[in-house]
Amino acid sequence: MPRRLINLTFHGVGEPPRPLEAGEADVWVSRERFIDVLDAIAGRDDVRITFDDGNASDVEHALPALRERRLAASFFVVADRVGEPGFLDEAGVRALASSGMTVGCHGLHHRPFRSIGDRALRDELLDAKRSLEAIVGGPVQVAACPFGSYDRRVLGTLRRCGFRTVYTSDRGTARSHAWIQARNTVHRGDRPDLLERIVSDERPPHRAWRRGAERAVKRWR
Ligand SMILES: [Zn+2]
């Protein structure tokens, strides 16, 4: 039975171990704030946790805190950043997978998928998928679009490349089994009440309708 879920996206946790790119500091949360949000999620079965970009903090801070609370999460790794300073190395990616976490694809080079030509997009997805599969020793079948960038062509290519679920950054709630999963980015200043905010933002019928229409445009453009 499909249910309404809240998908959350984290990026980095704790003190950044590398110079951040423009706009990144806003989605980098302190350890304390991260733990507050996790504690609000623990015990709820309607919240899914995801991490983008494959930062080293995924293993250093997020994994132990998730395990302590018996929570699972999906980690969307940028394949060509594996082993770079401040990002996960291969052992880290394997540690996530062997702890029961899902490892997903966030592109080879972290480029907005819509801006890449057909052939390059296929390579971007397949090279990343194969490289991550070689590291984890199993299939990688979920993807998250860098910068939330997708359209009908991107979705078709993702499907043909063997992805079963695509995570976006469209905000609001998502149906548990849907092919496209809208997500809500957690920002530096967010508090645990963001879960209630996400749901109440969608409550007025005209807002739910508008958000549904916006997503339909993205799928079909
Ligand atoms: Zn990203």
Cα 204 to averaged position of ligand 1 atoms, centre (Å):
30
Torsion on CA atoms 20, 147, 92, 87, rounded to nearest 10: -20
Cα 208 to averaged position of ligand 1 atoms, centre (Å):
26
How many residues appear in the chain? Answer: 221
Residue 147: how many CB atoms within 10 A of its CB? Answer: 15
| Domain extents in the chain | 4-220
The predicted structure's pLDDT at residue 203: 75
Average pLDDT over all residues of the chain: 94
Cα 93 to averaged position of ligand 1 atoms, centre (Å):
16
Cα 54 to averaged position of ligand 1 atoms, centre (Å):
9
Q: Identify the CA nearest to 37 among candidates 197, 204, 176, 201.
A: 197
110 close to 79: Cβ distance less than 8 angstroms: no
The predicted-structure confidence for 170-214, as pLDDT tens digits, reads as follows 999 999 999 999 999 999 999 889 999 998 887 777 777 787 888
What is the pTM assigned to this prediction? 0.94
176 residue type, one letter: S
Cα 33 to averaged position of ligand 1 atoms, centre (Å):
20
Cα 53 to averaged position of ligand 1 atoms, centre (Å):
5
**CATH number of 4-220: 2.60.40.1120, 3.20.20.370, 3.30.1360.200, 3.30.1180.20?**
3.20.20.370
Task: Give residue 154's pLDDT band: very low, low, confident or very high (50, 70, 90).
Answer: very high
Cα 51 to averaged position of ligand 1 atoms, centre (Å):
9
Q: List residues bridging with 105 in a β-sheet.
A: 77, 143
